[in-house]
Structure 1
């Protein structure tokens, strides 16, 4: 079972929607039978807000769900109310990104393409600090908290349940000096260090790769349970987009496969990063 409150809430929402659709009922019809609003049923099926175990019990009894499944879903509802470590940093994480961090804690694999900057899980604290400082409305305290969260997220890569991370980074992100040459030197050293982990693969998409199918950075989150479908995450300036429809996930999966086919091999990518590091060190 997925291991974070956010992932459990998502799993619960998926199961509740499946039960309703198998019963061939609308949210309005279910709400009418249980004396609820249709919007309450919809919120439960989309993972918006916390769901009470008693409400899950009422739904399962209405759908005629087997006792074993009903107990499992009630357990998911109870466990989804617990708080993860990132909830203690809510002042440093926008609500829309908190969802991503929660899902990230439960993944078995991450496929990410970054067109402008080094992926967050590969960043040094100095590099992350410079990116946070670029937002003019952030105070020094805000920046410190944001960097702390990013560094805490990176612990995932060396945990007992570490996911497989496959990152394709555009060459422009490596050449884009963030902060100073010294900051970039340490950042490139960090990339060379972390790619040595057995669960981390880094590829560089070179300028001469030709045309490729993307309109920006994205991440595909994969989960260990078959019942938890992949999610595509795209981040904007003030919000984010989560794509879960199979056709959308398939499209992005094919795009990522195309990107890593066009990118330099992991070995050639190490060679290029090393070359750039030597240039920064002069």
Structure 2
């Protein structure tokens, strides 16, 4: 079963929608049969609201599911109410990013392209603090909490059965000095350390790579269960976009494969980062 509350809620929504479609019914038809509104059924299937186990029980009985499936889905509904560890940090984690952290806890793979900043899972505390200080209106306590969350997220890469992270960063990320040269040198050295993990692959997209099929940073999240399709995540200044349709995910997957093909190989990328570290050491 999916581990984080966010992943459980998403899995439940997927299963409820699949049950309705297998029965050849619309949300409106299901709502009428249960004396609900069609919009309520839609909310249950999109995970946009809290799902009560009693609602899941009613739907499963209406769809005439097996007892085992009904118990499984009711357990998902109950467990999806549990708050994740990141909720303890309050306003330091905006709601739109809370969704991402919840999904990130259960991924089996992360394919990430960054063209402005070092990927969050590779950032040092000093680098992360500089980013939060410049881009968010946070109090001192909120800033510390935001950095703590970022550092806690990184334990994902070294836990038992960690996800595979494939990160492609544009060369401009390496040359854009955040903080000062000392902060940046330590950051690049940390990237090199993280890249040595067996589940991490790091590539640099050099300035001379020519044209490439991406207009901004994005992440493709993959999950271990076949029932949980990939999600594309794109982050803005005040919100985020989550794309799940097969067409959207397919387009980003093809773009990522093209980026991977034109980026420098991992060994050449490491060599490039080491050369920039040397520049900051002079």
Q: Same fold (TM over 0.5)?
A: yes
Gaps of 5+ in 1: none
State the 1:136 CA deviation. 5.6
* Partner in structure 1 of residue 116 of structure 2: 116
TM normalised by structure 2 equals: 0.98
> Structure 1: how far apart are the matches of 2:44 and 2:86?
22
Partner of residue 18, structure 2: 18
**Aligned-residue offset at 1:137:** 2.1
How far residue 9 of structure 1 moved from its aligned partner, in angstroms, is 0.5
Unaligned runs of 5+ in 2: none
Deviation digits for residues 135-171 of structure 1 (CA, Å, limit 9, x no counterpart): 3622222211110100000011000131000000000
| Two-structure CA RMSD over aligned residues (Å) | 0.9
CA distance in 2, matches of 1:55, 1:71: 12
Query: SS at 1:268's partner residue?
Result: helix
SS at match of 1:24: coil
What secondary structure does 1:90 align onto? helix
Map 1:36-51; keep pairs closer than 5 Å: 36-51=36-51
Alpha-carbon distance in 2 for matches of 1:136, 1:118: 17
CA distance in 2, matches of 1:200, 1:4: 22
Q: Does 1:259 align with 2:267?
A: no
Cα distance, 1:14 vs. partner? Answer: 0.3
The aligned runs of 1:1-282 (5 Å cut-off) are 1-135=1-135, 137-282=137-282
CA distance in 2 between partners of 1:135 and 1:223 (Å): 30
- Normalised to the residue count of structure 1, the TM-score between the two structures is 0.98
In the alignment, the residues of structure 1 paired with residue 163 and residue 60 of structure 2 have an alpha-carbon distance, to the nearest angstrom, of 33
d(CA) in 2 for partners of 1:146, 1:88: 11
Q: Deviations over 1:38-85 (max 9, x none)?
A: 221111100112211111010011111122211111111111111211
Taking the aligned partners of 2:208 and 2:227, their CA distance within structure 1 comes to 40
Give the number of equivalent residue pairs: 282
Contact between 1:2 and 1:223, CA under 8 Å: does it hold in 2? no
Deviation at 1:36, TM superposition (A): 1.2
Superposed CA deviations along residues 158-193 of structure 1, whole A, max 9, x for unmatched, are 001310000000000000000000000100010011
Q: Which moved more, 1:145-154 or 1:26-35?
A: 26-35
| C-alpha contact (below 8 Å) 1:13/1:45 kept by paired residues | yes
CA distance in 1, matches of 2:145, 2:210: 39
